[in-house]
Amino acid sequence: MSSDHSSQNLSVLSDASQSNADHSSLQAKQFSLASDAMKNTLPVMQTLEHWLNSHKPLKGCQQPLYIAYSGGMDSSVLLHALHQLIYVQSDLSKQFSLTVLHINHNLQAEANDWQQFCQQQVRQLSVAFQTKKLQLDSFKRQGIEAVARKARYQALTEMVASDFKARGSLKSLAAPVLLFAHHQRDQAETVLLNLFRGAGVPGMSGMPESRALECYECLNDNLILHRPLLKVSYQAMLDYAKSVELSFIEDPSNQDNQFRRNWLRNNLLPDIEKLWPDVQQKVSDSAGHISEANLLLDKMAQSGLESSCFSFDFIELRALEEVDWIEQKNIIRYWLSVFFPGVVLSKKHYQWLYVLVFSLQGDNRVQNAAYKMRSYELRWQYQRLYILPKWFTEHNEQAAKDYCRGIEWASIAKLKSNIDSSGLQGRVINPGYTFKFNVVHAKAGLVCKPIAHLDEGAVNKKALKNFFQQHRIPPWLRVFWPVLQDDEGRILAVLGCQNCLQNLSPTEKSQVEPRTLEMSYLQILQILQLR
C-alpha cells in the first residue's frame, strides 16, 4: 500500500471520527435541550397531573372539562398541557372530555382574527370548540373590565349549560367543570388591587381555587369553576410556552396602563420585585392564609345565621345587647354571599345599618328606611334588612297590574319550593301559605294573579291588613300578593287569608274541608323574578 493511499485512508478515518464526534455532540446537545425543555414544563405538568388525579370521576363516569380559552399565553398553556396529559401521554379520554370555549368580546379590531386563530389552534388538537360573540352595553360607570368580566362569566356559563343539556341523555356524565388559567401573578395582582380598594377579609383572600356558579341546566344546578394553575408562577407558565414553542396571542391592550391591573403589573410589581424578588409567591401565600381565616369566619357566621330569622330576601337583625355589631356584620356578609353572590356592602352601607340597629336599644326605633345602591336597594322594615333589585323598587300598583297578568297554577307548581343554600336548606324561614277555597266552585284552569287586580270591595280590607301585619309582609309585596282565580274569572281565595274575601257565603266560610293549595314564599319571589 502506498503512503499516499495510506494517508488518504487516515484522512477518511479522521473525517469519519470527526463526523461521529460531531454527531455525538449534537445528540448530547439535543438531549440537553430536551432535558431542559422537560424540566421547564414540570411545574405545569405536575400541577395539572395532580389536579386530574384528585378529580377523577367515579368508575364508569366521564368528567366534562370546559376550558375558557382566550388564545393568550396562560390559557394556551392550560389547553396544551391538559391535551398532553389526557390524550397524548396517557389515554384518559374515557375519564375526561375537553371542550374549548372562546368568548369574542368584540372590543378590538383584531377580535375576529383572534377568534379565527383560536379555532385553528384547537382544530390542530382535534378538540371540540365553541365560540360566542358578545355585544357589550355601555360601560362608562362600571368600567370596561368589570362589564366584560361579568358578560364573559355569563356567556361561559350559558355555553356550558347548553352543551351539557345537549349531552344530557348520557347518564354517565359527571358534573361539568369550567377551567380558568389564572396563575400566581394573577392572584398577587388581585390581592394588591383589593388591598388598595380597602377590601375586607374575603377580598384579601384573592381568587378561590374553586367556586360554584349557578347553572340550572347542569347537574345539581351548579357549575364548578376551577383554577388549577393558581399556585404556578408566571415564569413557569412562560417557560412552558417557550419550551413547547406555543403560538399565542399577545393582546396590545395589556400594555395600556390606564387600566389599573396593567399599571400594577407593568410598573408597581417590577419595582417591588427589585427588593422582594419572590413577592408574587409571598402575596399568594398570604392570600392562602387569609382564605383560611375567611373559612373560619364563614363557619362562625353560618352558626349565627342558623339562630337568626332570615329568608331569601331578608335577614332579621337584633339589638346590640343581644348580638354585638361585629358579629352581626359578619352574619350579614355571609347571608349576602349565600343568597346574593357578588353583592358586597361597603363601609357606608354598614354605617347606615349600624344607626338602624343602634336605634333598637331605645324607644325611638327607626321603623323603615331605604338605601339605594347601583343595582339594588336596601330596605329596613320590621327590624329586617331586605335587599331588592333596583328595577323592582320602581314598580307601583299600576305596574303590578301590568307586570303580572296571571300565572297558571300548573306553572307555579313547577317552580322550586326551596333552594340549596350551602347547608342552610331546611333552616331558612320559608313560610308556606295556602289557598283554601270551596271545591264545588273551583273550575279547571286555575290562575294566580296579584291582589292589585281585584275590584274595589272584593276584599275585606281590615282582615287583609291584619293578615299582612301579623305575617310581616312588607308593603312592596302587598300589591303583588297572590289571589286565586278560576278560568271563569271567579276569585276563589287570597293566599294565606281565609277571611279576606267579601263575597264568600257563610256556608263557604264554615266549610270544614275546603280544597287546599300550598305556595311557598320562595315561589312568590320567583314569580316576581326576585329570586
**227 belongs to a structural domain:** yes
Contact 125, 162 (CB under 8 A): no
Contact 323, 304 (CB under 8 A): yes
- pLDDT by residue (tens digit) across 51-78? 999 998 888 788 899 999 999 999 999 9
Both 521 and 456 in a single domain? yes
Both 224 and 340 in a single domain? no
Handedness of CA 344, 348, 352, 354 (dihedral sign): positive
What is the predicted pLDDT for the residue at 512?
41
What is the predicted pLDDT for the residue at 234?
95
**299 belongs to a structural domain:** no
Give the separation between CA 527 and CA 249, rounded to whole angstroms. Answer: 45
Give the separation between CA 115 and CA 106, rounded to whole angstroms. Answer: 10
Structural domain of residue 510, as residue ranges?
397-527
Q: What angle do CA 91, 102, 53 make, to 5 degrees?
A: 30
Find the CATH number of the domain harbouring 227.
3.40.50.620
Whether the model pTM is above 0.85 = no
Q: Which residue has the higher pLDDT, 113 or 28?
A: 113
Contact 315, 308 (CB under 8 A): yes
Looking at 342, 368, 393, the residue that finishes a domain is 393
**463 belongs to a structural domain:** yes
Please report, in range form, the residues annotated as the binding site for ATP.
Answer: 70-75
What is the predicted pLDDT for the residue at 440?
53
- pLDDT by residue (tens digit) across 3-41? 454 444 434 434 444 545 454 454 444 434 455 667 788
**520 belongs to a structural domain:** yes
Both 153 and 228 in a single domain? yes
Both 236 and 194 in a single domain? yes
Both 500 and 512 in a single domain? yes
The separation between CA 194 and the C-alpha centre of its own chain, rounded to angstroms, equals 18
Give the mean pLDDT of the chain: 81
- pLDDT by residue (tens digit) across 96-110? 999 999 999 888 889
Long-range pairs, 420-424, Cβ under 8 A, ≥24: 420/220, 420/221, 421/338, 421/339, 422/302, 422/338, 423/302, 424/302, 424/305, 424/306, 424/338
Residues in the chain: 531
Both 367 and 430 in a single domain? no
pLDDT category, 403, cuts 50, 70, 90?
A: low
Looking at 347, 369, 393, the residue that finishes a domain is 393
Both 227 and 142 in a single domain? yes
Closest of 177, 179, 225, 209 to residue 292, by C-alpha:
209
Count CB-CB contacts under 10 A for residue 450. 24
Both 419 and 328 in a single domain? no
What is the predicted pLDDT for the residue at 90?
80
pLDDT category, 272, cuts 50, 70, 90?
A: very high
**405 belongs to a structural domain:** yes
Q: Write the DSSP assignment of 128-186 as a string of letters.
A: EEEEEE------TTT-HHHHHHHHHHHHHHHHHHHHHHHTTT-TTBPPPEEE----HHH
Give the separation between CA 144 and CA 121, rounded to whole angstroms. Answer: 28
**254 belongs to a structural domain:** yes
Q: What is the CA radius of gyration of the chain?
A: 32
Looking at 377, 393, 409, the residue that finishes a domain is 393
What is the predicted pLDDT for the residue at 362?
73
Which of 126-135, 169-178, 202-211 shows the lowest per-residue confidence on average (mean pLDDT)? 169-178
Closest of 354, 197, 316, 164 to residue 264, by C-alpha:
197
Grid cell for residue 41? 414544563
What is the predicted pLDDT for the residue at 389?
84
Q: Which residue has the higher pLDDT, 250 or 410?
A: 250
Both 505 and 407 in a single domain? yes
**20 belongs to a structural domain:** no
What is the predicted pLDDT for the residue at 167?
76
pLDDT category, 476, cuts 50, 70, 90?
A: confident
Report the domain count for the chain: 3
Mean pLDDT value across residues 258-262: 90
**502 belongs to a structural domain:** yes
Both 98 and 246 in a single domain? yes
Please report, in range form, the residues annotated as the binding site.
Answer: 70-75
Both 360 and 494 in a single domain? no
Q: Where are the beta strands (DSSP E) in 359-431?
A: 368-372, 376-381, 384-389, 407-408
What is the predicted pLDDT for the residue at 431?
65
Q: Give the type of residue at 2.
A: S
- pLDDT by residue (tens digit) across 347-366? 999 999 999 998 887 777 88
Beta-sheet pairing, 96-104 with 128-133: parallel
DSSP 288: H
Both 282 and 345 in a single domain? no
